[in-house]
Structure 1
Amino acid sequence: MENEARYKPLRLKHQSINRWRIGQTIEQRVRFEPMTMDGDINAWLLEGFAIHENPCRKEFVTKRRENTPEPPGRMEGGAGTGGGADSEPSELYFPWGNPRVERSGFWMVPTHLSTYAVTQIHSPRAHKSKLKLITCGSITLWINGKLVDDFTPFTRNHEAEKEIEVEWMEGIHTVAVCFEDLAERDTQYYFRLDYMGTEDIDIVLPLGGDVKEEEVRQLENALSEAYFSRDTVFSGPVVLNIRNPLNREIPFRLRFGSDIFGDLQSKDAVLPARAEAMELGQAEDFGMGYKYIELSARIGSLSIKKRLGVQIYPESALEFMTEGDIRARKDAALKTIAQYGEPNIHTALALLKTDGSVEAAEAMIRVGMEGINSRADCSDFFLVSLFRIWQDYRDSGLFSEAFWEEMRECILNFRYWMDEPGDDVMWFFSENHALLFHTCELLAGQLFPEGHFTNSGETGAQHQAKAESRLKEWFERFMAEGLAEWNSSAYFPIDAVGFIQLHDLAQSSEIRRMAKEALDLLYYYMTLNSHRGVLASTYGRSYEKELKGHYIVGTSSMCWIGYGIGYLNNYSFSNVSLCLSEYAPPEAYRKYLTLGKDERFIFRFEQGIGGYAKLYNYKTGRYSLSSIADFKPGQPGYQEHVMHLTFGPEANLWVNHPGELAVHGSGRPSNWAGNGYLPKAGQYKGLGILLYQINPKHDVHFTHAYFPTGIFDEYAERNGWYFARSGDSYAAIYAANGLRLQQHGPDRGKELLSDGLNNAWIIRVSDQDESGSFEQFIERIAGIAITAEGGQHLALNDPDYGKVELQWDRPIIVNGEEQLIEGFGIQGKLEYL
């Protein structure tokens, strides 16, 4: 290795060893003995998803623990990519602030993942130290070719750790890792290696003779600072702000697509020499959606990758926009989906209904059936539309008899519930999946009453009878408890597609009636909790794409189709069915979307088992502030979104404790969606308070707020508060531990950070009628007297509301009176002010 450049990016003392040469991940579908499962569909929301373990995991873990991986190939100017392999890996792994070495993602079928990584450690003197191994899967560790440990917790998205003692000689040590897991849907696939010693050791990366150390260092710095000026692009070029530090152009390979669903696409871009920005392509090149873009830059034999996210809402895709009645809006949405929708079974149906390409539709259906036949997770989301296709096109002559026989076999061979045997990782344990599975089972049984369903051994008539019973139980629970995944912009549309298909296709008049009542209730929740047709509120399940992508989510287009208020887009899951149905949402709910500037109301309601989601929404014609009270405060979170302020589709503000340090990561919770640890929340009208008490074992020792300064008409900082104006509405935000505006990286100018494990936040919203000018609002709020005791208690004297305080063990108190947070039921109480 005499002629190699070496890279020393940081010195380590009680830090993660997180720069590596990393190989390609080997993915292998795993088959198991088919087994059944059981359990309550919503219990995991309170108790954690780990209460449900697929039987396949037990079998996999047992076999893996009996077989230690082979060590990687020897160092040849780099690291081997796999057991016994001498070829170099394709990637130089940089952490971008993440202490983990991570390749997390989503796998639709059970998949064995295996990845090798190698780095070098330079020790200035001989010494002993502890190393901490952290993973959710397994870590096999070699130092200087000797097996040190094979740590195999396999704890499914929950970290496990182990400390070992290592003896370091003076000089260079080669450290190699194989990390593995069994991917089941969303999978936190990573390892972490923490040095626990007292010596100042170095990470030394062998780069190879064709790579210049300084160029790698400069490119890492440039990518770490890359950002989009705003989180939405409407037209023209998609421009990434990134400075080229080199004297030559840098070619990039882009891979992009929607999260989980949608085909990944690739394209090339070039960062000119000494440029300050790079055009990634025209907005239309990326399609419509919230796009995760992976940038890969090549330097010699190495690549360096960085992931970013941005919403693309191309104005050119709105060619069918209309101001007509609901029928005209349905036609416009159907045409938009047919032209611009993600390739799937729903979009195929839109193509057929708009006289589009039959060949293209058939290709989409066939790909969709391949996924259903493999029992890929979320198959129920797509299978549900095959029944409409069969009903409307079986005798059309558009497709061959062989095609229809393939569809028939697809339907007859499916696994319709967890009590049937399977070796898949389809998720049954949520209300949206349960509804879709039962809907598919009913429609399949109706379609082939005499058919032999191979997985259960039952007839279609037997399946129909079971499904009717299951659906009645599901609807009875829904009408008693509401939605466990309250207000979820991600899952309202999934529920809706089940309701609509039952409303249109079920033979049972009782099932059709229940589906209609459920649809009406869904629109009731959606209109009450939406602002200008955008469901931007507290959510039971949230993702970054819904929090930052309000133009392109299904609820925005469902509102637009129903009432002409919201946004036309290409969302297909619910909206193809909605457009083809005679169903129209209640006209009486329109008024909830069209509040005048002087109108305002409070809507309090409950959702979930025992009313565990105690929800509050203060809404005016200008803004809305919503929250959930007393939801598992101080406990680890998942995807719950606790408090949200919105002025419009882009002008939003919320606070959370990041579940992971990686920006645009795939964790649940992630950096922006959900909470690593949940806060205590209290709200009174336009005032919200959050108290955080975070376990020091968590990676993230700060909380932050989404604060997109480029979207606000103006913003200011005074006396520890940050202020924003959007039109004639105002927001103020405060953290007891202080605030600073992010000046670096992908969230530059969009993030307020506050350090500390115990903290208290305030969000205050008002408008011109209540508070006068923006400057007057600032003066009134900046002078508020505040008392805070870590994350235990906060009290303030609000100029409009009086003395308000929130304690960890009590509901919010206003002028000495404890505010009622429960007893409102699933229909709730609507109070106009």
Structure 2
Amino acid sequence: MENRLNEEGFIMQYLISGLREEPFIDHTADENQLRYEKYLRSILTIPQTKEPQDRVKLNETGDLGLPWRYYYNYGNWFVDLSTFYSVLTRVEIDAYTQLKVKEDVQVKAVVWSYASVDLWCNGEHVCAMAPPVYKPIQKQTVIFNLKKGINRLYIRLQTLGVRDTRTLFGIQVIDRQDEIRVVLPDEEHTNPVLSCAEWLDQLIIQDGKLLCHTPAPKGTTLGYDSMSPDFARTETKVERHDISGATEAVLEAGRPYIVVECTAEGQKLIRRMEDTAMIVPSFQKKVDYEKNKEVIYHRIADVESLSRGGKFGFSISNILARKVTGRITAKDRALFLETLSQIEKRFDCSDFLVCGLIRYLKNYELDDELKNRVKEVLLNYRYWMDQEGSDAMCFWSENHSLMFYVSAMNAGEFYPEEYFTRAHMTGRQLWEAGKKRVEQWLDDVEERGFEEFLSTVYMCVTFAGLLNVIDYTPKEISDRAVKVTDRLLEMLALHTYKGSVIAPMGRVYRQVIYPFLQGAQALMNLIDPDVPYSYGEGWLAFYATSRYEIPEGLKKLMRDPVLTEYNTGNAVIRLEKNEAYCITSVQSPRKDTDYDRWVNLTLLEERQNVDKTSHAYTKSLNERFHGTTCFEPGVYGYQQHMWSCALDSETQIFANHPGGTCDSSQMRPGYWYGNGVMPAVRQEKGILGAVYQIPKEHPIHFTHVYWPGVKFDQNKVEDHWLFGKKGNGYIGMWCSKKLQPYQDQVFNCEYRSYGDEIAYCVFCGDQKEYNTMEAFIENCKKRTPVYADGELIQISFNSKKLYHRLYGDSMELDESDKKCDIFIGI
């Protein structure tokens, strides 16, 4: 079966062998975890001297000792097996494909990857990309000397598995694309698999049905995923039904998460889809505040352990909830011991577990066996990156750093005279070191605000960490933590619109498309039982034994209209919410001339001494890893969510430049969350504009809009315009490029715009001003937004320029101070 390259010239069909995963151990010491991981990547790659094999067949064992299989991942331009590693791991993949041409020809191509990649064309070693990096993505131009007929491409990928790992590569043919066909080897067996993939590609969800263009292959199943957060239910959370031969299937009400699987030649291919119309907020029956707390704790207690990517579970929050509700199970002792083992092995995020363990120890008694085991684990834990040991733990983000700092204090207090073997300190000394950093963390947030501002994931983690500071540190520190926690909740309440948090965010994940499902809804529901709730990863189990009291006035903040601007971290946030609509964004670039950006110490440490024990240094490492906190257009992004407009708690729209090309990508930035390259953004009353300029060094040259058409009361789509009405509010969106509908995991919710420079203008309105949808549409079109020469101009506002040239004076930086430089080579 012959296949074309995709529209961007990417090869889309491969056989792969892998992932092969092996522990990667190195005992080199380094006080800087980022530098240490860069060093590990530099020594990981095994040089390749020859093509591993020249004959590949489906299901046969490859050179890595693993069988060859067809790679299927709907809509992905890359072979992408990115995943999360909690411990240091060597990761390898082999891939194989064939290019068919009608005559001898020389072809230019680009290899894209974050990993080490070796590529052979007909046995000729044409690419040796090394070492791996965390970001930005690497590219290497190669030449394929193709002979008439079939030409083999063999790829070996090697990388370091550490936390979120970008295990992917892509091959993009630059010229003569129409002359090339992709043909997999072993066609007798691979063609049936390709037929299954083609069948899956053409599935759609419409009007509550799964529609198939041809009858489902034999053995095809339609599954419903419960999306349970419980690791104990990982193997059973998808319920499957055979639909062999069907051309449509009526979807069961209230089961919106769809998994379709079909099998050919022993290969199982899977496509995930969602019926967005069925994904709605969950509300608790009318209860008062105290009763709602009980419901929350029981909800957490019902989960045995929180699934960590389906690989293992974290159970400490669930154990805490079962203790407070009197529902301890026979298995909880084993889960408690498993928690201690995970801490001892220093899984990434084991600082979360330590914080939960501290809370347990502060509130409940242990028998002698558990006391001794806890003491052994805590005395040998690594509380900071300058302490002895090598592992995959993230120390530097806002939430992680606080948890490590306060855990050092608390553990040191438990064993003041004991010797902590990795810290090479007594408990008393560890307490002092942790105290210094907790105070500096509070200093920073008090002065500058949160860096992970409004994150509906990480503010929950920070909330739990702050509760430990409030409950288990001296009064002068505890009182400060109370005020910081009040501020955290006030910000989230301020951005709650008709029940859901609608906000720009310092760090975000995919649930941004369903704001009522985000983790912070657990906090908002704690404050007001009438708003939608979420499980929220169980962090509220910490609150069950805390002295912290929710401040007054938060419900009013949730409900009152507001038009405001404020600073947090390096961001200027604008928010306008009223009965008709909500618009909110980060201003990029910020225009205030008296702005004092904090100094990134990692840019100075090679020229002068800096205090590497300070929280300022931790913040600098965090910015280096997670991306700029100083918002400017054209800078490579990470998980920053830049803007949203909403008409209610479900009907939210935004655009982003994705970090991956398909919804199932595990990249950070992802498909719907974060930005590969950050836009310029400007918000005024009732209007928002955004401009994206994508450099050639980035492989993805489209942006896309999340526009949940099924959620609007009225919805109209034109070439450059989208219009919607919900309740008494209107949204109109204009794009400088033609908007093209695209169906991936969600249906009738996505519009792509292809190009290197793309501008958006969003207008919001009130039914009090526009009696009909038609009147609103007419007004939007009269405003005639224009994008030309790097400027977005909105004519109806007296030709006011929403954006000056993106790369004008604001981007003229001294070479040593360029913001994007601080992320290169990680």
TM-score range with shorter-chain normalisation? 0.7 to 0.9
Equivalent residue letter for 1:644 = S
1:357 aligns with 2:324: no
Kindly, what percent of the aligned residue pairs are identical? 23
Equivalent residue letter for 1:223 = L
Q: Could you list the per-position Cα deviations for residues 628-652 of structure 1 after superposition, in whole angstroms to 9, with x for gaps in the alignment? A: 1122112222111111012333211
* 1:414 CA drift (Å): 1.1
Q: 1:261 to 1:29 in 2, by over 3 A?
A: farther
Q: 1:695 to 1:810 in 2, by over 3 A?
A: closer
Distance 1:810 1:191 in 2: 31
Q: Which residue of 2 aligns with 1:738?
A: 738
Q: Which residue of 1 aligns with 2:180?
A: 201
Distance 1:309 1:665 in 2: 15
Q: Which residue of 2 aligns with 1:774?
A: 773
1:115 aligns with 2:85: no
Query: Which one of 382, 386, 401 corresponds to residue 368 of structure 2?
Result: 401
1:16 aligns with 2:13: no
* 1:672 CA drift (Å): 1.3
Query: Which one of 220, 223, 233 corresponds to residue 200 of structure 2?
Result: 223
Distance 1:476 1:218 in 2: 60
Q: Which residue of 2 aligns with 1:31?
A: 25
Distance 2:8 2:776 in 1: 46
Decide which moves more: 532-541 or 152-161: 152-161
Structure 2 SS opposite 1:605 = strand
Q: 1:731 to 1:181 in 2, by over 3 A?
A: same
Structure 1 SS opposite 2:497 = coil
Equivalent residue letter for 1:191 = F
Distance 1:699 1:258 in 2: 35
* 1:218 CA drift (Å): 4.0
Equivalent residue letter for 1:27 = E
1:382 aligns with 2:360: no
* 1:380 CA drift (Å): 1.1
Equivalent residue letter for 1:513 = D
* 1:706 CA drift (Å): 0.7
Query: Which one of 128, 132, 138 corresponds to residue 150 of structure 1?
Result: 128
Distance 1:207 1:280 in 2: 37
Distance 1:405 1:531 in 2: 49
* 1:481 CA drift (Å): 0.5
Q: 1:23 to 1:308 in 2, by over 3 A?
A: farther
Kept in 2: contact 1:12–1:203 (CA 8 A): no
Structure 2 SS opposite 1:183 = strand
* 1:104 CA drift (Å): 1.0
Structure 1 SS opposite 2:520 = helix
Structure 2 SS opposite 1:770 = coil
1:161 aligns with 2:125: no
Distance 2:680 2:43 in 1: 41
* 1:113 CA drift (Å): 0.5
Equivalent residue letter for 1:272 = I
Decide which moves more: 526-535 or 474-483: 526-535
Query: Which one of 612, 626, 639 corresponds to residue 584 of structure 2?
Result: 626
Decide which moves more: 343-352 or 565-574: 565-574
Kept in 1: contact 2:340–2:377 (CA 8 A): yes
Decide which moves more: 767-776 or 659-668: 767-776
1:328-347 aligned within 5 A: 328-340=291-303, 342-343=305-306, 344-347=315-318
Q: Which residue of 1 aligns with 2:650?
A: 650
Equivalent residue letter for 2:801 = E
Query: Which one of 250, 269, 287 corresponds to residue 220 of structure 2?
Result: 250
Kept in 1: contact 2:704–2:751 (CA 8 A): yes
Query: Which one of 125, 133, 155 corresponds to residue 103 of structure 2?
Result: 125
* 1:697 CA drift (Å): 3.7
Distance 2:679 2:139 in 1: 26
Q: Which residue of 1 aligns with 2:712?
A: 712
Give the unaligned 5+ runs of structure 1: 1-6, 39-51, 231-237, 812-833
Q: Which residue of 1 aligns with 2:342?
A: 371
Q: Which residue of 2 aligns with 1:819?
A: none
Structure 2 SS opposite 1:551 = helix
Distance 1:378 1:329 in 2: 29
Query: Which one of 44, 48, 65 corresponds to residue 68 of structure 1?
Result: 48
Q: Which residue of 2 aligns with 1:563?
A: 528
Give the unaligned 5+ runs of structure 2: 307-314, 590-630, 808-826
* 1:573 CA drift (Å): 4.3
Equivalent residue letter for 2:115 = G
* 1:181 CA drift (Å): 0.4
Q: Could you list the per-position Cα deviations for residues 532-552 of structure 1 after superposition, in whole angstroms to 9, with x for gaps in the alignment? A: 33221111111112x023333
Q: 1:219 to 1:790 in 2, by over 3 A?
A: farther
Structure 2 SS opposite 1:494 = helix
Q: 1:144 to 1:13 in 2, by over 3 A?
A: farther
Kept in 2: contact 1:490–1:554 (CA 8 A): yes
1:42-121 aligned within 5 A: 53-62=34-43, 64-65=45-46, 67-68=47-48, 71-73=51-53, 75=55, 77-78=57-58, 81-83=61-63, 85=65, 88-89=67-68, 91-94=69-72, 96-121=74-99
Q: Which residue of 2 aligns with 1:577?
A: 542
Equivalent residue letter for 2:317 = H
Structure 1 SS opposite 2:431 = helix
Distance 2:800 2:232 in 1: 47
* 1:61 CA drift (Å): 2.6
Equivalent residue letter for 2:215 = P
Q: 1:447 to 1:240 in 2, by over 3 A?
A: farther
Q: Which residue of 2 aligns with 1:49?
A: none
* 1:277 CA drift (Å): 4.7
Q: 1:641 to 1:60 in 2, by over 3 A?
A: closer
Question: How many residue pairs were aligned?
Answer: 755
Q: Which residue of 2 aligns with 1:828?
A: none
Equivalent residue letter for 1:359 = A
Q: 1:720 to 1:56 in 2, by over 3 A?
A: closer
Query: Which one of 430, 444, 469 corresponds to residue 463 of structure 1?
Result: 430
Distance 1:615 1:337 in 2: 33
1:805 aligns with 2:801: yes
Q: Could you list the per-position Cα deviations for residues 283-332 of structure 1 after superposition, in whole angstroms to 9, with x for gaps in the alignment? A: 68x9xxxx8x87553102333344556899999997xx354443222111
Q: Which residue of 1 aligns with 2:118?
A: 140
Structure 2 SS opposite 1:645 = strand
Kept in 1: contact 2:216–2:247 (CA 8 A): no
1:487-566 aligned within 5 A: 487-506=454-473, 508-545=474-511, 547-566=512-531
Q: Which residue of 2 aligns with 1:615?
A: 573
* 1:124 CA drift (Å): 2.2
Kept in 2: contact 1:33–1:56 (CA 8 A): no
Distance 1:312 1:471 in 2: 45
Kept in 1: contact 2:220–2:244 (CA 8 A): yes
* 1:786 CA drift (Å): 3.0
Equivalent residue letter for 1:807 = Y
Q: 1:152 to 1:82 in 2, by over 3 A?
A: farther
Kept in 1: contact 2:196–2:264 (CA 8 A): no
Q: 1:242 to 1:392 in 2, by over 3 A?
A: farther
Distance 1:170 1:648 in 2: 59
* 1:390 CA drift (Å): 1.5
Kept in 2: contact 1:537–1:644 (CA 8 A): yes
Kept in 2: contact 1:73–1:80 (CA 8 A): no
Distance 1:554 1:747 in 2: 20
TM-align CA RMSD:
3.2
Q: Which residue of 2 aligns with 1:391?
A: 362
* 1:148 CA drift (Å): 4.8
Structure 1 SS opposite 2:89 = strand
Distance 2:464 2:21 in 1: 33
Q: 1:324 to 1:250 in 2, by over 3 A?
A: closer
Structure 2 SS opposite 1:781 = helix
Compute the TM-score of the two structures, normalised by the length of structure 1: 0.83
1:606 aligns with 2:567: yes
Decide which moves more: 630-639 or 705-714: 630-639
Decide which moves more: 91-100 or 426-435: 91-100
Distance 1:151 1:382 in 2: 38
Kept in 2: contact 1:73–1:79 (CA 8 A): no
Equivalent residue letter for 1:440 = S
